[in-house]
Amino acid sequence: MEKTENLIQQEIVIYLTNKYCLKHHQPRFIVFAVPNGGKRDAREAKTLKNTGLLKGVSDLIFQTDKCTYYIEVKTDKGIQTPEQKDFQQRIEALGKIYLLVRSLDDIITTKLL
């Protein structure tokens, strides 16, 4: 059975937190989610958009002392939306690192530091 995006994302957050983001890590890095999904009524959607919600933004942001990683999580069969592809192009045009990952192993084998 294929893992869901949520499960893959949870595994990644746990891994990054335990390896880089605990109080005893120096420097202490930051990983956080950008919860753009979910169902909203029109009023709430408008409020979120007006306060900075951006369609296509990556699922996770991982900030180290050297750089920021924008991490999009997909299942093996998952595909990026046009908005996600646009966000990736914008990030890469700024010379930043965008990662499309499909498993925790993708994170582990990527040279993050």
Structure confidence at residue 44 (pLDDT): 83
Nearest to 100 by CA among 12, 2, 3: 12
Mean pLDDT for each consecutive 10-residue tract of the chain (113 residues)?
A: 93 97 97 83 83 91 96 97 97 98 96 78
The answer to whether 112 and 104 have CB atoms below 8 angstroms apart is: no
pTM, 2 dp: 0.91
The answer to whether 85 and 58 have CB atoms below 8 angstroms apart is: no
Structure confidence at residue 40 (pLDDT): 75
Structure confidence at residue 46 (pLDDT): 83
DSSP string across 39-58: ---HHHHHHHHHTT--TT--
Structure confidence at residue 35 (pLDDT): 81
Q: Give the chain's domains with CATH numbers.
A: 5-109 (3.40.1350.10)
Give CA 46 to chain center in angstroms.
23
